[in-house]
Structure 1
């Protein structure tokens, strides 16, 4: 937690993958709850680290929805709001 918040203080983005959905990822979900919206990103980590629902299967980009739903729940946002937040952050980070 401390290291993640230090990164945020330095202006870093934090990206969350399917690990966020794992049953034993309470600590990671706590980190996600405290990351400012303008520092949030999502990633697939495909073909590895499938969300909990797909554990043991090859991870696919389509499974990002599971991670997005979890992050939206944590941040108390609608899926549409989270999509807009992470899209804007990706545009800012990658300058497109």
Structure 2
């Protein structure tokens, strides 16, 4: 299941406790980020132990456009995480929305 930038922004504004993973590279993260935990897609398999969420908890993944986070969503689902949501359009959509 996916999540829109509008829904994520609204939930952040409501101070919901969200678990968000940014799967972009470090230089992209340093350029612009929304405060998510940085685990680049290529490092995800060996860094699963850094995910501080239960396997049934909601995890939101994002990247620049939604492609890498889509792959991260598939990977995490294959590892037993049952509620992984991909941010549609990624940071490009986030910035295009003016957030």
**Alignment TM-score, normalising by the size of structure 2:** 0.38
Bigger share in strand: 2
Which structure's relative contact order is higher, taking Cα pairs within 8 Å and 6+ residues apart? Answer: 2
**Alignment TM-score, normalising by the size of structure 1:** 0.39
